[in-house]
Structure 1
Amino acid sequence: MDKDLHEIFSMLKSAEVEIKKENQVLMVNKTTSFKKQGKPNKGNFKKGGKKVAPHPEKPKAGPKPETVCYYCQGKGHWKRNCSKYLADLKSGHVKKKGTAE
């Protein structure tokens, strides 16, 4: 160490400038899991804290009130949901279509 204090100080300053110029790379470990950490959000909120309107619910799929059952000719249900057809099917009076015996 044959350098005086002023030379060491200038060397440190130039090293500091060079470190700031370099692009620093952050090393990250490889992971296979991409799970979100932290508390789950409760409710629909935007970033500003304002509540978002919920999506309108879709109407349920099913027969319309004017739909006619092919089995009992009743309105508002399909043959597969007809109580008379299901009772007859269970008792054996009617055979299910498409089954081979």
Structure 2
Amino acid sequence: MKLVNMFSRAPRVIQYEAASAFFDLNIKEGQKVSPHVLKLIEHVETLKSHKVEIPDELVIDRILHSLSKIKAYVQFRVNFNMQDKKVSLDELHKMLVQAERDMGLSVSTTKDVLNVNQKSKGTFKKSGKKGKKRTPNRNSAKTYEASTSKPKYSAPSGDKCHYCCGVGHWKRNCSKYLGDIKAGKVTPVGPPPSKDKGKEKQV
């Protein structure tokens, strides 16, 4: 029996702890308002069970003051006091929960993450350099035409073109052949002409 009395908490200790928590407890950033308000009301009920009566108006003032660290609730407190409306603790609890939803405080963590991501993206766009646009690939006909439009060597005067049967030029230098390639009528065969100096074999 002596051990039970030694380790049991005295009513005066319970009363003191409940009173201290009631007057010291304040909401934290990112904390939901409902558990906070219910915790304060719980301390009030504990005090009542020990015959310590706290008027509801004082409890309401304490609850509103405990929210003063969150700027969004400061305006709520101002509006509440301006209305001079008498409400019960349960009604105040519901009003604060609804205000939390209206102000979007219940998803503050998600919003903070989105804001950080948006800021980082904006910084990247400002500091980043625009890349150079890639030049589109040319088709084989235009490449072949560019390489053969200005030949460095001409055919001997007696050589015959195997494309138009004309004399004095090769097929690779034939204007008709090059024109047909440009028009898409003919597909060039073989690689572009070699750039090596000296006489080349006829195509």
TM over 0.5: no
Normalised TM-score (structure 2): 0.18
Greater share of helix residues, 1 or 2? 2
Normalised TM-score (structure 1): 0.36
| Structure with more relative contact order (C-alpha pairs < 8 Å, separation 6 or more) | 2
